[in-house]
Amino acid sequence: MIGNDKKIVQAAELIKHSKHAIALTGAGVSTRSGIPDFRGTGSGLWTRIDPMVVASIWGFIEHPQGFYDWIKPLSKTMLAAKPNPAHYALAELETLGRLRALITQNIDDLHQRAGSQRVLEVHGHMRQATCIRCYYLADAKPFIEKFIADDAIPTCPRCGGAMKPNVTLFGEAPPVRVLYEAQQESEKCDVMIVAGSSLEVMPVADLPVVARRHGAQIVIINNSATPMDKQAAVVLREDVVIALPKIVERVKQ
């Protein structure tokens, strides 16, 4: 076997013989579910609009309508999206006892919907929303569905302040507890699977560096180059929806 087939076998063997394998996923895992990448060339959301205007905490505080107008089509897409074979493959690895944790940069909830149980969402999620004035916490779905229906900015039922989805905007720190867990998992793992991430966004991009520093083998599955390629044991230039199911099938043999 040559090329990617050989690398599939190498990746599977590393996972089969690992004692503490984890995964780190980025936007490339969800693009095949129809959710656009934020940074992709040509199709990336940030190539068409200034993120500091619509997706920063300062922009949200000054003009929440701008944020909600921008996120409305993306919210519709995420609500309609379904997990793809890459999501299901990672969930199956966990079910098989081969994956201890899944760290994701994605906010779409697709890993959980595919069956993954231990998901560390380092950029937050859309399941809850918090009032920026009184910090009232609530289920975000009714607010988002109402906004999609009538374009009214979601407001706090207690004080009338704008409700912000619990996603990490520019200018905000990632959720501290989740990031700490991700750091701990990166230090403990002996194999880290990096899938669909260009490893450009800090502090998440530093997690494979931490893992490698503590002796872990890195498996990278991504269509484009990453800063960690030279330090990885296996680098697969193949679509995650093709590569991950193949790896899982090989692990099961």
Q: How many CA atoms lie within 13 A of 173 on its CB side?
A: 6
Return the bridge partners of 218, or none.
Answer: 192
Q: Would you say 179 and 122 are in contact if contact means Cβ atoms under 8 Å apart? A: yes
Q: Are 115 and 82 in contact (CB under 8 A)?
A: no
Coil, helix or strand at residue 205? helix
The DSSP secondary-structure symbol of 152 reads: P
Element (H, E) at 166: strand 163-167
141, containing H or E segment? helix 141-150
Other CB atoms closer than 10 Å to residue 3's CB: what's the count? 10
Q: Is 20 a catalytic residue?
A: no
Q: What is the rounded end-to-end Cα distance, in angstroms, of the chain?
A: 17
Residue 117 makes CB contacts below 8 A (sequence gap 6+) with 94
Question: Exactly one of 20, 87, 111, 123 is catalytic; which is it?
Answer: 123
Q: Which residues are catalytically annotated?
A: 123
